[in-house]
């Protein structure tokens, strides 16, 4: 079992044993409370570049992109208008926290680039990356965006960014402290990061002695949150706040989505 990526603690206790009968246990760091699966269990490059994830990127693009890219929209106009409206509202919130319209923005895990395209169309220098090569290719070739394919920690990334966003990303990454330390280094003095993820307080009541299929049969909350392949990291709100403090980022705003069990943290790199 790997040491805790947040605090370096080596002592862990089992939080949930043999999750879904897959022979892997979710453990809790005794020192800081961070929950995680053994990082040797996950192979993110292989998982996120699997045929299933390539197909998801293609279907997601086809369902929602054309109006953002100012192409003909015949199949799903309501969804595409929603995307522009939704991401526009997110950018409004980002600008409010930052105190001005951002000039530069980087998205970690940008998928096929819907959010980046809306930001680009507002005149923001919007760049990003995605581990899924097919999604990054769509963002580059169809959306006309500056997006790199590959693991965030292995890529050359810009610095002096006004904003860095990670939406539904940090729970997928086995080493969240390393990621947030790099985000700190990317931000300009006074810049902000927006991190959206699941929070454990909402999901911890899900019974894990059932298979995913049995959960579906019983109409229970989604089990995807506990999938050790996709979600190696589990955060409750105090652990998330502590992570940000450890890397030198100050939490300035939190918003809870109590329907989907997600939290968005807006954090700032202190001004020099």
Residue 122 lies in a domain: yes
CB 32 within 8 A of CB 6: yes
Residue 4 lies in a domain: no
Which residue range(s) make up the domain with 91?
44-268
Tell me which residue of 60, 7, 5, 64 sits closest to 38, measured CA to CA: 5
Q: To the nearest 10°, the Cα dihedral for 122, 128, 133, 137?
A: 30
Residue 244 lies in a domain: yes
Residue 36 lies in a domain: no
What is the C-alpha separation between 218 and 57, in angstroms, rounded? 29
Number of domains, the chain: 1
pTM of the model: 0.84
Residue 24 lies in a domain: no
Q: Which domain CATH number covers 207?
A: 3.40.50.150
Residue 26 lies in a domain: no
Query: pLDDT in tens for each of the 272 residues of the chain?
Result: 678 989 999 999 998 887 777 778 889 999 999 999 876 555 556 656 566 555 555 555 544 444 444 444 454 455 566 778 889 999 999 999 999 999 999 999 998 898 999 999 999 999 999 998 888 998 999 889 999 999 999 999 999 999 999 999 998 888 899 999 999 999 999 999 999 998 876 655 555 454 444 443 444 344 566 777 778 888 989 999 999 999 999 999 999 888 778 899 999 999 98
Residue 89 lies in a domain: yes
């Amino acid at each position: 079992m790997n040491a805790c990526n947040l605090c370096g603690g080596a002592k862990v206790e089992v939080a949930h044993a043999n999750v879904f009968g897959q022979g892997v246990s979710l453990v809790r760091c005794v020192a800081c409370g961070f929950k995680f699966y053994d990082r040797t269990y996950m192979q993110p490059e292989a998982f996120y570049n699997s045929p299933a994830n390539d197909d998801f990127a293609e279907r997601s693009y086809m369902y929602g992109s054309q109006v953002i890219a100012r192409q003909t929209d015949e199949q799903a106009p309501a969804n595409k208008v929603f995307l522009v409206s939704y991401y526009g509202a997110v950018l409004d919130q980002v600008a409010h926290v930052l105190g001005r319209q951002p000039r530069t923005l980087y998205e970690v895990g940008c998928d096929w680039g819907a959010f980046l395209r809306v930001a680009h169309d507002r005149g923001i220098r919007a760049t990003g990356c995605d581990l899924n090569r097919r999604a990054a290719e769509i963002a580059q070739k169809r959306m006309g965006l500056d997006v790199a394919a590959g693991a965030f920690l292995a890529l050359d990334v810009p610095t002096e960014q006004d904003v860095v966003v990670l939406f539904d990303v940090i729970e997928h990454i086995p080493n969240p402290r390393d990621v947030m330390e790099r985000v700190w280094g990317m931000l300009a003095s006074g810049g902000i990061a927006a991190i959206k993820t699941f929070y454990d307080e909402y999901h911890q009541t899900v019974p894990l002695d059932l298979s995913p299929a049995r959960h579906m049969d019983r109409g229970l909350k989604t089990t995807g949150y506990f999938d050790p392949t996709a979600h190696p990291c589990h955060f409750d709100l105090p652990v998330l706040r502590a992570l940000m403090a450890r890397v030198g980022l100050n939490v300035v705003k939190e918003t809870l989505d109590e329907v989907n069990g997600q939290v968005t943290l807006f954090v700032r790199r202190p001004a020099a």
